[in-house]
A and B are shown apart, each in its own frame.
Chain A
Amino acid sequence: MEDLRGHARVLKELKLIDYGESPQFKGVELTELGKFITNLTIEDEPILAGEMVQTRSGAKPLGQLLKDLRRQVLHMIANAGSGHLGASLSIVDILAILYFMKMQHDPINPDWEERDRLVLSKGHAAPALYAVLSEAGYFPKEELTTLRELGGRLHGHPDTVTPGVDAKTGSLGQGLSMAVGMAYAAKLDKASHRVYVVIGDGELHEGQVWEAAMTAAHYGLDNIVTIIDRNKYQLTGTTEEVKGVEPIADKWRAFGWNVLNVNGHDHFAVLDALEVCEHTHGKPSVIIAATTKGKGVSFMEGNKFSRSVPNAAQLKQALEELDRR
């Protein structure tokens, strides 16, 4: 067992395990052994789980932080009585890596001009962003209980009244265009900050995404990184059933982007890809992050908790499962 895990890690570090360019999800099933080995390589002992990151309450191992964030997302949505749980859980790892290991930002000074920007174009995953911003120190943790409350600062979709939120979103497909504007402004100002955009895979249906993709490439905006949360689902079903989006990588490449494929829950791989983007000049980069909707709680994975809210028993069960991990 130990050997297997050790080998898997070595294979991965040597980049001998590849997640493939354009995964075809429809109809592909891993065998039990395949699942077991995949889990070992990615989940059981994530390479960066022990890495210490700075949070508002001091340094914490990344693994612990991620558990805390997932716990908060669950509590927030259960408490609010509505919210997109699955869509939020699928991007917890990505947002945490960005805010705690990559982005230049200052929770004490949210309007710092040189900060890296983040546009959460799939705005319905706001709870994940709020949990991350609060852990980073933008606002008190107690405020998380006010999600979607009248008069509060944590609206159903990201709002700039929340400290740390860079743009209002919620109407899908509009985030990348705003990011293009921000990145262009940074170029005009000869500023070195970068602009990150997180978009959904179903969101790729919106034509505006492709208008912006063309514009970003035309102007060589290498200070933009688009991260596609490729969780394979949207509201009505899988993306491939509703309206196929594959081959995603080929589409972006044809639009002139630098394309990277990673497993979005493999922290090492995500960080590595972000690094590659930083060293890519003359064109924008897109990271296609293969993720699991509802990630972190086995019975919430897939589309079951796309919109539905956990009841008290489900919440308890979910929290217990997170504790056991």
Chain B
Amino acid sequence: MQLKSQVDYFGRALLEKGTANPDIVVLDADVSASTKTSYFQESYPERFIEVGISEQDMIGIAAGLSLSGKIPVAAAFATFIVGRAWEQVANTVARQSLNVKIVGTHSGLTPSADGESHQSIADIAVTRVLPNMVVEVPADAAAAGWATRELLDRKGPVYLRLGRGSFPMIYPDDIELEVGRAETLLDGDDVTIVSTGSMVHVALSAAETLMEEGLSSRVLDMHTIKPLDCDALEKAASETGCIVTVEEHSVIGGLGGAVTEAVSERKPVPISRVGIKDRFGQSSRNYQALLERYGLTPEAVAGAARKVVESK
């Protein structure tokens, strides 16, 4: 599979939308070369606000722009933009349901060498808990491009979670998904693997392994964590009888938490959550090695699937 960068696709989609819509204003906090808002800045410097290393201020400014009819897109590293500035996101943006687009790059363990201070294990949890927020976690670069275009066409606060580096391409460049609707990438009836973001391709390769063993898996790309596609989950629970969730995020409060909440109310079945197990990240020169250390591999997902199938 081809590897492509999510932030590159985000940056290009942002430039494209910004060209078409003069109300779009972009903000960054001294990391534009990493988030790729630099593409927009080069073409539209007057609509680009460099706030410096002031993430909280940036969210407040975005709110003000939105209150004045602009469409602000604020980008920075995930852990700083919704972690550092969480209360601004909650109390200023979400509470007023403002049309602010918040983009967190370098999510999960993707800034592997920088270590735990730069990794974000809780950004999905802290954004999905907020009323009015939409939370989008695209699986590859194409989906990141789609999500960027889509969220700029819609009103309301959004958190878009992107990874650093390149990921295998799952979708064609011009993919169109539907917000709030899980994408079924593979159908099966023994187990459902619900995955999001960087872990979708891991789920797919786990399904391949399981297939060779005679276990048929349904693979869902839950690219929208909020609103969650509860219908697809209920259907999966009924038809496959058990679920594995996979995410590059804490299993507490993230996709695993969200799926467990929904399934336990609609159609309780055994669930196994693969993700970061209530611990912070750590430094690793090699991103793959870190994923292995944290059990975010096709083997680990396949192992969880075998177990959960047995407990049906």
Contacts and interface: CB of A to CB of B under 8 A. Distances in A.
A202 interface: yes
A123 B118 CA distance: 11
B279 interface: no
Given A149-B285, A171-B79, A207 B113 contact: no
Nearest to B38: A236
Interface residues of A, number: 32
Nearest to B28: A236
Contacts of B283: 148-150, 152, 154-156
Contact of B118 (A152, A170, A207, A236): A170
Given A80-B285, A150-B284, A202 B113 contact: no
A82 B283 CA distance: 11
A155 B282 contact: yes
Contact of B32 (A156, A159, A236): A236
A150 B115 contact: no
Contacts of B80: 171
Contact of B113 (A156, A173, A242): A156
Interface string B277-291: 000001111100110
B118 A150 contact: no
B286 A242 contact: no
Interface string A112-151: 0000000000010000000000000000000000001111
A18 B53 CA distance: 31
Interface in B200-254: none
Give the most central of B115, B289, B290: most A CB within 10 Å.
B115
Contacts of A261: none
B284 to A, nearest CB: 4
A148 B115 CA distance: 8
Given A80-B285, A155-B282, A170 B115 contact: yes
B154 interface: no
Given A156-B114, A235-B30, A236-B30, A206 B290 contact: no
B117 A170 contact: yes
Give the most central of A83, A203, A205, A207: most B CB within 10 Å.
A205
B91 to A, nearest CB: 15
Give the most central of B31, B54, B116, B285: most A CB within 10 Å.
B285
Chain B binding surface SS class: loop
Contact of A171 (B51, B117, B284, B289): B117
Nearest to B290: A150
B293 A150 contact: yes
A150 B285 contact: yes
Interface string A148-167: 11111011110100000000
Interface in B258-312: 282-286, 289-290, 293
Contacts of A171: 79-80, 83-84, 117
Give the most central of A156, A234, A235: most B CB within 10 Å.
A156
A170 B79 CA distance: 11
B53 to A, nearest CB: 4
A172 interface: yes
Interface in B96-150: 113-118
A169 interface: yes
B114 A150 contact: no
Give the most central of B54, B56, B286, B289: most A CB within 10 Å.
B54
B1 interface: no
A81 interface: yes
A243 interface: yes
Given A157-B115, A170-B118, A205 B282 contact: no
Given A151-B293, A155-B115, A206-B54, 19 more contacts: A82-B113, A83-B113, A149-B284, A150-B286, A150-B290, A150-B293, A151-B282, A154-B283, A170-B116, A171-B83, A172-B53, A202-B30, A205-B52, A207-B56, A235-B31, A236-B31, A236-B33, A242-B52, A243-B51
25 contacts: A83-B113, A148-B284, A149-B284, A149-B285, A150-B284, A150-B290, A150-B293, A155-B116, A155-B283, A156-B113, A157-B114, A168-B117, A169-B117, A170-B116, A171-B79, A171-B84, A202-B53, A205-B53, A206-B53, A206-B54, A235-B30, A235-B33, A236-B31, A243-B51, A243-B54
